[in-house]
Chain A
Amino acid sequence: MYKLLKAGFYRLRKELVFKLFIVSSIIVAIFIAKKDYKAWGQVGINEAIVEFMIYIGFFISIFVSIFVGKEHSEGIIRNKIIVRT
Protein backbone atom coordinates (compact mmCIF):
# COMPACT_ATOMS: atom_id res chain seq x y z
CA MET A 1 0.00 0.00 0.00
CA TYR A 2 2.84 2.38 0.93
CA LYS A 3 4.51 1.69 -2.43
CA LEU A 4 1.29 2.40 -4.31
CA LEU A 5 0.84 5.70 -2.44
CA LYS A 6 4.43 6.65 -3.20
CA ALA A 7 3.90 5.89 -6.91
CA GLY A 8 0.57 7.76 -6.82
CA PHE A 9 2.16 10.90 -5.36
CA TYR A 10 4.98 10.65 -7.89
CA ARG A 11 2.42 10.75 -10.66
CA LEU A 12 0.47 13.59 -9.03
CA ARG A 13 3.63 15.68 -8.98
CA LYS A 14 3.85 15.34 -12.75
CA GLU A 15 0.13 15.93 -13.34
CA LEU A 16 -0.68 19.30 -14.94
CA VAL A 17 -4.39 19.19 -13.97
CA PHE A 18 -3.40 18.63 -10.33
CA LYS A 19 -1.06 21.63 -10.40
CA LEU A 20 -3.77 23.79 -12.01
CA PHE A 21 -6.30 22.83 -9.35
CA ILE A 22 -3.81 23.51 -6.56
CA VAL A 23 -3.19 26.99 -7.97
CA SER A 24 -6.93 27.63 -8.43
CA SER A 25 -7.63 26.44 -4.85
CA ILE A 26 -5.04 28.88 -3.53
CA ILE A 27 -6.57 31.73 -5.56
CA VAL A 28 -10.08 30.88 -4.30
CA ALA A 29 -8.77 30.66 -0.72
CA ILE A 30 -7.17 34.09 -0.98
CA PHE A 31 -10.33 35.54 -2.51
CA ILE A 32 -12.58 34.12 0.24
CA ALA A 33 -10.19 35.13 2.99
CA LYS A 34 -10.14 38.72 1.66
CA LYS A 35 -13.91 38.82 1.32
CA ASP A 36 -14.48 37.46 4.84
CA TYR A 37 -11.86 39.79 6.31
CA LYS A 38 -13.75 42.79 4.92
CA ALA A 39 -17.09 41.53 6.23
CA TRP A 40 -15.73 40.33 9.56
CA GLY A 41 -18.38 40.44 12.23
CA GLN A 42 -21.20 39.54 9.83
CA VAL A 43 -19.44 36.26 8.87
CA GLY A 44 -18.60 33.76 11.61
CA ILE A 45 -15.58 31.41 11.68
CA ASN A 46 -17.75 28.38 10.88
CA GLU A 47 -19.29 30.03 7.83
CA ALA A 48 -15.86 31.05 6.53
CA ILE A 49 -14.54 27.47 6.72
CA VAL A 50 -17.65 25.84 5.25
CA GLU A 51 -17.71 28.27 2.34
CA PHE A 52 -14.17 27.28 1.40
CA MET A 53 -14.98 23.56 1.76
CA ILE A 54 -17.61 23.87 -0.98
CA TYR A 55 -14.98 25.02 -3.45
CA ILE A 56 -12.50 22.34 -2.33
CA GLY A 57 -15.21 19.67 -2.82
CA PHE A 58 -15.91 21.05 -6.29
CA PHE A 59 -12.26 20.86 -7.34
CA ILE A 60 -11.68 17.44 -5.80
CA SER A 61 -14.73 15.88 -7.46
CA ILE A 62 -13.64 17.08 -10.91
CA PHE A 63 -9.98 16.16 -10.40
CA VAL A 64 -10.55 12.68 -8.94
CA SER A 65 -12.93 11.66 -11.72
CA ILE A 66 -10.46 12.85 -14.38
CA PHE A 67 -7.47 11.27 -12.64
CA VAL A 68 -9.01 7.89 -11.82
CA GLY A 69 -10.66 7.69 -15.26
CA LYS A 70 -7.33 8.36 -16.90
CA GLU A 71 -5.55 5.74 -14.77
CA HIS A 72 -8.21 3.22 -15.73
CA SER A 73 -8.18 3.96 -19.46
CA GLU A 74 -4.38 3.92 -19.63
CA GLY A 75 -4.32 0.46 -18.01
CA ILE A 76 -2.39 1.66 -14.94
CA ILE A 77 -4.85 0.05 -12.52
CA ARG A 78 -4.60 -3.26 -14.40
CA ASN A 79 -0.82 -3.01 -14.22
CA LYS A 80 -0.97 -2.41 -10.47
CA ILE A 81 -3.16 -5.50 -9.99
CA ILE A 82 -0.75 -7.64 -12.03
CA VAL A 83 2.27 -6.40 -10.07
CA ARG A 84 0.35 -6.84 -6.77
CA THR A 85 2.38 -4.91 -4.35
Chain B
Amino acid sequence: MENILETKHIEKKYKKFKALDGINMHVPKKAIYGLVGKNGAGKTTLIRIICGLQKPTKGTYTIYNTVNTSNQITKQRKRIGAIIEAPSICLDMTAEDNLKKQCKIIGIPDEENVYKILKTVNLENTGKKKAKNFSLGMKQRLGIAIALVGNPDFIILDEPINGLDPAGIIEVRELILKLNKENGITFLISSHYLDELSKIATCYGFMNNGKIVKEIDKEELEKSHRKRIEINVNNIKECVKYLEENKISYQVISDEVIDIYEKVNVSEIVIALSKRDCIINSFQEKSESLENYYLNLIGGADNV
Protein backbone atom coordinates (compact mmCIF):
# COMPACT_ATOMS: atom_id res chain seq x y z
CA MET B 1 0.00 0.00 0.00
CA GLU B 2 1.19 3.50 -0.80
CA ASN B 3 2.41 5.49 2.18
CA ILE B 4 1.51 9.14 2.54
CA LEU B 5 4.04 9.73 5.29
CA GLU B 6 7.25 7.89 6.06
CA THR B 7 9.85 8.81 8.63
CA LYS B 8 13.34 7.36 8.62
CA HIS B 9 15.46 7.30 11.79
CA ILE B 10 14.21 10.67 12.99
CA GLU B 11 16.05 11.98 16.00
CA LYS B 12 15.44 15.14 17.99
CA LYS B 13 17.81 16.22 20.72
CA TYR B 14 17.45 19.03 23.23
CA LYS B 15 21.04 19.37 24.48
CA LYS B 16 21.64 15.93 26.01
CA PHE B 17 18.00 14.88 26.15
CA LYS B 18 16.76 12.74 23.27
CA ALA B 19 13.08 13.53 22.66
CA LEU B 20 12.96 11.30 19.58
CA ASP B 21 15.30 8.39 19.09
CA GLY B 22 15.30 6.92 15.58
CA ILE B 23 11.62 7.06 14.70
CA ASN B 24 10.51 4.92 11.74
CA MET B 25 6.87 5.44 10.97
CA HIS B 26 4.68 4.56 7.98
CA VAL B 27 1.26 6.07 7.45
CA PRO B 28 -0.64 4.31 4.62
CA LYS B 29 -3.01 6.17 2.33
CA LYS B 30 -6.63 6.44 3.51
CA ALA B 31 -5.74 5.04 6.93
CA ILE B 32 -6.59 6.39 10.36
CA TYR B 33 -3.24 6.08 12.10
CA GLY B 34 -3.38 6.13 15.89
CA LEU B 35 -0.24 7.34 17.59
CA VAL B 36 -0.29 5.97 21.11
CA GLY B 37 2.09 6.92 23.88
CA LYS B 38 2.26 8.28 27.40
CA ASN B 39 2.97 11.92 28.24
CA GLY B 40 6.48 12.85 27.18
CA ALA B 41 6.81 9.90 24.79
CA GLY B 42 7.50 12.33 21.94
CA LYS B 43 4.18 12.31 20.06
CA THR B 44 3.78 16.08 19.82
CA THR B 45 7.46 16.59 18.96
CA LEU B 46 7.10 14.12 16.10
CA ILE B 47 3.95 15.85 14.86
CA ARG B 48 5.60 19.27 15.10
CA ILE B 49 8.51 17.99 13.02
CA ILE B 50 6.17 16.58 10.36
CA CYS B 51 4.31 19.91 10.18
CA GLY B 52 7.57 21.81 9.79
CA LEU B 53 7.41 23.64 13.11
CA GLN B 54 10.67 22.02 14.21
CA LYS B 55 13.64 20.50 12.45
CA PRO B 56 14.88 16.98 13.23
CA THR B 57 18.42 16.67 14.56
CA LYS B 58 18.94 13.59 12.40
CA GLY B 59 16.94 11.53 9.93
CA THR B 60 14.50 12.34 7.16
CA TYR B 61 10.82 12.04 6.41
CA THR B 62 8.86 11.94 3.19
CA ILE B 63 5.41 13.36 2.59
CA TYR B 64 3.79 12.13 -0.65
CA ASN B 65 7.18 10.74 -1.66
CA THR B 66 8.84 14.14 -1.26
CA VAL B 67 11.75 14.17 1.15
CA ASN B 68 11.88 16.95 3.76
CA THR B 69 15.17 18.33 2.46
CA SER B 70 13.63 18.98 -0.97
CA ASN B 71 12.37 22.42 -2.01
CA GLN B 72 9.06 20.86 -2.96
CA ILE B 73 8.21 19.93 0.64
CA THR B 74 6.42 23.27 1.23
CA LYS B 75 4.15 22.51 -1.71
CA GLN B 76 3.35 19.06 -0.32
CA ARG B 77 2.70 20.46 3.15
CA LYS B 78 -0.12 22.53 1.71
CA ARG B 79 -1.94 19.23 1.23
CA ILE B 80 -1.84 18.69 4.99
CA GLY B 81 -4.28 20.08 7.54
CA ALA B 82 -3.25 20.04 11.17
CA ILE B 83 -4.41 20.77 14.68
CA ILE B 84 -1.51 20.77 17.10
CA GLU B 85 -2.07 21.10 20.85
CA ALA B 86 -5.17 23.31 20.44
CA PRO B 87 -7.35 24.33 17.48
CA SER B 88 -6.14 27.58 15.87
CA ILE B 89 -9.28 29.66 16.05
CA CYS B 90 -9.87 33.38 16.54
CA LEU B 91 -12.15 33.41 19.56
CA ASP B 92 -13.73 36.79 18.82
CA MET B 93 -14.83 35.78 15.33
CA THR B 94 -17.74 33.62 14.15
CA ALA B 95 -17.21 30.14 12.67
CA GLU B 96 -17.84 31.54 9.20
CA ASP B 97 -15.36 34.41 9.64
CA ASN B 98 -12.73 31.99 10.95
CA LEU B 99 -13.07 29.88 7.82
CA LYS B 100 -13.08 32.94 5.53
CA LYS B 101 -9.87 34.11 7.19
CA GLN B 102 -8.27 30.70 6.66
CA CYS B 103 -9.34 30.82 2.99
CA LYS B 104 -7.60 34.19 2.69
CA ILE B 105 -4.42 32.81 4.34
CA ILE B 106 -4.33 29.90 1.90
CA GLY B 107 -5.47 32.08 -1.00
CA ILE B 108 -8.55 30.30 -2.23
CA PRO B 109 -11.95 31.79 -3.09
CA ASP B 110 -14.06 31.50 0.05
CA GLU B 111 -17.83 31.65 -0.30
CA GLU B 112 -18.61 28.23 -1.74
CA ASN B 113 -15.95 26.43 0.26
CA VAL B 114 -16.93 27.93 3.59
CA TYR B 115 -20.57 26.84 3.54
CA LYS B 116 -19.65 23.36 2.33
CA ILE B 117 -17.13 22.88 5.14
CA LEU B 118 -19.45 24.32 7.80
CA LYS B 119 -22.10 21.83 6.70
CA THR B 120 -19.61 18.96 6.83
CA VAL B 121 -18.74 19.70 10.47
CA ASN B 122 -22.36 20.53 11.43
CA LEU B 123 -21.67 24.15 12.34
CA GLU B 124 -23.83 25.74 9.65
CA ASN B 125 -26.41 26.98 12.17
CA THR B 126 -24.09 28.88 14.50
CA GLY B 127 -24.93 32.21 12.82
CA LYS B 128 -23.39 35.21 14.60
CA LYS B 129 -22.29 33.26 17.67
CA LYS B 130 -18.64 33.97 18.37
CA ALA B 131 -16.16 31.12 18.76
CA LYS B 132 -15.46 32.07 22.40
CA ASN B 133 -19.07 31.11 23.23
CA PHE B 134 -18.77 27.69 21.55
CA SER B 135 -18.68 24.46 23.54
CA LEU B 136 -15.36 22.59 23.59
CA GLY B 137 -16.72 20.04 21.09
CA MET B 138 -17.82 22.82 18.73
CA LYS B 139 -14.39 24.48 19.02
CA GLN B 140 -12.73 21.19 18.17
CA ARG B 141 -15.03 20.72 15.16
CA LEU B 142 -14.27 24.27 14.06
CA GLY B 143 -10.57 23.44 14.37
CA ILE B 144 -11.09 20.43 12.10
CA ALA B 145 -13.09 22.66 9.72
CA ILE B 146 -10.13 25.08 9.55
CA ALA B 147 -7.84 22.14 8.84
CA LEU B 148 -10.23 21.12 6.04
CA VAL B 149 -9.87 24.43 4.19
CA GLY B 150 -7.78 23.81 1.08
CA ASN B 151 -9.09 20.24 0.62
CA PRO B 152 -6.23 18.38 2.33
CA ASP B 153 -5.69 14.65 1.77
CA PHE B 154 -3.97 14.23 5.10
CA ILE B 155 -5.04 15.63 8.47
CA ILE B 156 -2.94 15.54 11.61
CA LEU B 157 -4.77 15.81 14.93
CA ASP B 158 -2.90 16.07 18.19
CA GLU B 159 -5.09 14.96 21.10
CA PRO B 160 -8.38 15.86 19.38
CA ILE B 161 -10.65 14.57 22.16
CA ASN B 162 -8.84 15.95 25.19
CA GLY B 163 -11.27 17.52 27.62
CA LEU B 164 -14.38 16.65 25.61
CA ASP B 165 -17.52 15.25 27.20
CA PRO B 166 -18.89 11.88 25.90
CA ALA B 167 -21.22 13.67 23.43
CA GLY B 168 -18.32 15.77 22.13
CA ILE B 169 -16.12 12.68 21.77
CA ILE B 170 -18.82 10.97 19.71
CA GLU B 171 -19.25 14.08 17.52
CA VAL B 172 -15.52 14.27 16.76
CA ARG B 173 -15.25 10.50 16.24
CA GLU B 174 -18.19 10.45 13.81
CA LEU B 175 -16.71 13.40 11.93
CA ILE B 176 -13.32 11.72 11.56
CA LEU B 177 -14.94 8.50 10.33
CA LYS B 178 -17.17 10.42 7.91
CA LEU B 179 -14.24 12.36 6.43
CA ASN B 180 -12.17 9.20 6.15
CA LYS B 181 -14.89 7.18 4.43
CA GLU B 182 -16.54 9.82 2.23
CA ASN B 183 -13.59 12.01 1.29
CA GLY B 184 -10.83 9.40 1.63
CA ILE B 185 -8.81 11.65 3.94
CA THR B 186 -5.91 10.04 5.79
CA PHE B 187 -5.68 10.85 9.50
CA LEU B 188 -2.80 10.80 11.94
CA ILE B 189 -4.24 11.02 15.44
CA SER B 190 -2.33 11.07 18.68
CA SER B 191 -4.35 10.29 21.76
CA HIS B 192 -4.32 9.03 25.32
CA TYR B 193 -7.86 7.72 25.10
CA LEU B 194 -6.98 4.25 23.92
CA ASP B 195 -10.51 2.87 23.99
CA GLU B 196 -11.74 5.75 21.84
CA LEU B 197 -8.81 5.37 19.47
CA SER B 198 -9.48 1.64 19.13
CA LYS B 199 -12.96 2.47 17.78
CA ILE B 200 -11.65 4.40 14.78
CA ALA B 201 -8.00 3.65 14.07
CA THR B 202 -6.98 1.26 11.32
CA CYS B 203 -3.24 1.36 12.10
CA TYR B 204 -1.38 1.94 15.32
CA GLY B 205 2.05 3.21 16.24
CA PHE B 206 3.02 2.67 19.85
CA MET B 207 5.58 5.15 21.20
CA ASN B 208 7.67 4.98 24.31
CA ASN B 209 10.67 7.06 25.35
CA GLY B 210 11.04 8.64 21.91
CA LYS B 211 10.87 5.36 20.00
CA ILE B 212 8.18 3.61 18.01
CA VAL B 213 7.98 0.35 19.91
CA LYS B 214 5.61 -1.29 17.46
CA GLU B 215 3.64 -0.49 14.32
CA ILE B 216 0.66 -2.70 13.72
CA ASP B 217 -2.60 -2.61 11.77
CA LYS B 218 -6.03 -3.31 13.19
CA GLU B 219 -6.33 -6.88 11.88
CA GLU B 220 -2.92 -7.89 13.18
CA LEU B 221 -3.67 -6.27 16.52
CA GLU B 222 -6.92 -8.18 16.85
CA LYS B 223 -5.14 -11.43 16.04
CA SER B 224 -2.38 -10.80 18.55
CA HIS B 225 -4.82 -9.89 21.32
CA ARG B 226 -4.78 -12.55 23.97
CA LYS B 227 -8.29 -13.96 24.21
CA ARG B 228 -9.61 -14.83 27.63
CA ILE B 229 -12.71 -16.49 28.98
CA GLU B 230 -14.27 -14.90 32.01
CA ILE B 231 -16.31 -17.33 34.08
CA ASN B 232 -18.47 -16.56 37.07
CA VAL B 233 -18.84 -19.52 39.45
CA ASN B 234 -20.42 -20.09 42.86
CA ASN B 235 -17.64 -22.35 44.18
CA ILE B 236 -14.32 -20.86 43.32
CA LYS B 237 -12.22 -23.39 45.27
CA GLU B 238 -13.48 -26.34 43.26
CA CYS B 239 -13.07 -24.43 40.04
CA VAL B 240 -9.44 -23.58 40.87
CA LYS B 241 -8.79 -27.22 41.81
CA TYR B 242 -10.15 -28.38 38.46
CA LEU B 243 -8.07 -25.85 36.52
CA GLU B 244 -4.92 -26.81 38.47
CA GLU B 245 -5.50 -30.51 37.82
CA ASN B 246 -5.93 -29.92 34.10
CA LYS B 247 -3.04 -27.46 33.91
CA ILE B 248 -5.13 -24.66 32.43
CA SER B 249 -3.70 -21.17 32.91
CA TYR B 250 -6.04 -18.89 34.85
CA GLN B 251 -6.24 -15.87 37.05
CA VAL B 252 -8.60 -15.37 39.96
CA ILE B 253 -10.21 -11.95 39.62
CA SER B 254 -12.62 -11.98 42.58
CA ASP B 255 -14.45 -14.43 44.87
CA GLU B 256 -16.67 -15.45 41.97
CA VAL B 257 -14.80 -14.57 38.79
CA ILE B 258 -11.93 -16.41 37.12
CA ASP B 259 -10.22 -15.56 33.84
CA ILE B 260 -9.04 -18.49 31.70
CA TYR B 261 -6.29 -17.75 29.19
CA GLU B 262 -6.56 -20.87 27.06
CA LYS B 263 -8.85 -22.38 24.48
CA VAL B 264 -10.97 -24.83 26.39
CA ASN B 265 -13.79 -27.23 25.67
CA VAL B 266 -16.72 -25.44 27.25
CA SER B 267 -19.05 -28.39 27.62
CA GLU B 268 -16.27 -30.44 29.24
CA ILE B 269 -15.66 -27.75 31.85
CA VAL B 270 -19.38 -27.32 32.54
CA ILE B 271 -19.90 -31.08 33.07
CA ALA B 272 -16.74 -31.48 35.17
CA LEU B 273 -17.57 -28.52 37.40
CA SER B 274 -21.20 -29.50 37.87
CA LYS B 275 -19.99 -32.91 39.14
CA ARG B 276 -17.97 -30.98 41.76
CA ASP B 277 -21.00 -28.96 42.88
CA CYS B 278 -19.72 -25.87 41.18
CA ILE B 279 -22.30 -23.99 39.13
CA ILE B 280 -21.23 -21.67 36.35
CA ASN B 281 -23.34 -18.48 36.46
CA SER B 282 -21.90 -16.88 33.34
CA PHE B 283 -19.38 -17.58 30.62
CA GLN B 284 -17.96 -14.78 28.45
CA GLU B 285 -15.22 -14.66 25.88
CA LYS B 286 -13.33 -11.39 26.04
CA SER B 287 -10.37 -10.01 24.19
CA GLU B 288 -7.60 -7.96 25.71
CA SER B 289 -8.15 -4.21 25.55
CA LEU B 290 -5.83 -1.89 23.62
CA GLU B 291 -4.77 -0.49 26.98
CA ASN B 292 -3.52 -3.90 28.18
CA TYR B 293 -1.77 -4.51 24.89
CA TYR B 294 -0.02 -1.15 25.15
CA LEU B 295 1.02 -1.75 28.76
CA ASN B 296 2.40 -5.19 27.89
CA LEU B 297 4.27 -3.69 24.98
CA ILE B 298 6.02 -1.00 26.98
CA GLY B 299 6.95 -3.38 29.75
CA GLY B 300 3.96 -3.60 32.05
CA ALA B 301 2.12 -1.17 34.24
CA ASP B 302 5.22 -0.62 36.43
CA ASN B 303 6.81 1.25 33.57
CA VAL B 304 4.06 3.88 33.43
Residues on A lying within 8 angstroms of B by beta carbon are 3-4, 6-7, 10-11, 14-16, 74-76, 78-85
Contacts and interface: CB of A to CB of B under 8 A. Distances in A.
22 contacts: A3-B104, A7-B102, A7-B105, A10-B97, A10-B104, A11-B90, A74-B88, A74-B90, A74-B91, A75-B84, A75-B86, A78-B53, A78-B84, A79-B102, A81-B53, A82-B52, A82-B80, A82-B82, A84-B52, A84-B74, A84-B77, A85-B107
A36 B214 CA distance: 76
A62 B107 CA distance: 30
Given A14-B93, A82-B52, A7 B84 contact: no
Contact of A80 (B84, B91, B105, B150): B105
Contacts of A10: 97, 100-101, 104
A81 B84 CA distance: 12
B89 interface: yes
A11 B93 contact: yes
Interface of B: 51-53, 74, 77-78, 80, 82, 84-93, 97, 100-102, 104-107, 146, 150
Contact of A76 (B74, B77, B90): B90
Nearest to B149: A83
User: What is the interface of chain B mostly: helix, strand, loop, or mixed?
Assistant: loop
Contacts of B106: 3, 83, 85
Nearest to B89: A74
A7 B92 contact: no
A50 B290 CA distance: 69
User: What is the interface of chain A mostly: helix, strand, loop, or mixed?
Assistant: helix
Contact of B104 (A6, A16, A75, A76): A6
Contacts of B102: 7, 79, 83
A43 B166 CA distance: 68
B88 A84 contact: no
Which of B85, B87, B92, B93 counts the most chain A CB atoms within 10 A? B92
B104 A82 contact: no
A51 B97 CA distance: 38
Contact of A79 (B78, B93, B146): B146
Contacts of B52: 81-82, 84
Contacts of A84: 52, 74, 77-78
Given A10-B100, A75-B87, A84-B77, A15 B92 contact: yes
A75 B85 CA distance: 9
Contacts of A75: 84-89
Contacts of B51: 82
Given A14-B97, A82-B82, A84-B52, A3 B87 contact: no
Contacts of B86: 75
Given A74-B89, A79-B105, A82-B52, 15 more contacts: A3-B104, A3-B105, A7-B102, A11-B93, A14-B90, A15-B92, A74-B90, A76-B90, A78-B88, A79-B146, A81-B53, A82-B51, A82-B80, A82-B82, A82-B84
A85 B105 contact: yes
B101 A11 contact: yes
Contacts of A80: 105
A14 B88 contact: no
Nearest to A76: B88
A75 B101 CA distance: 14
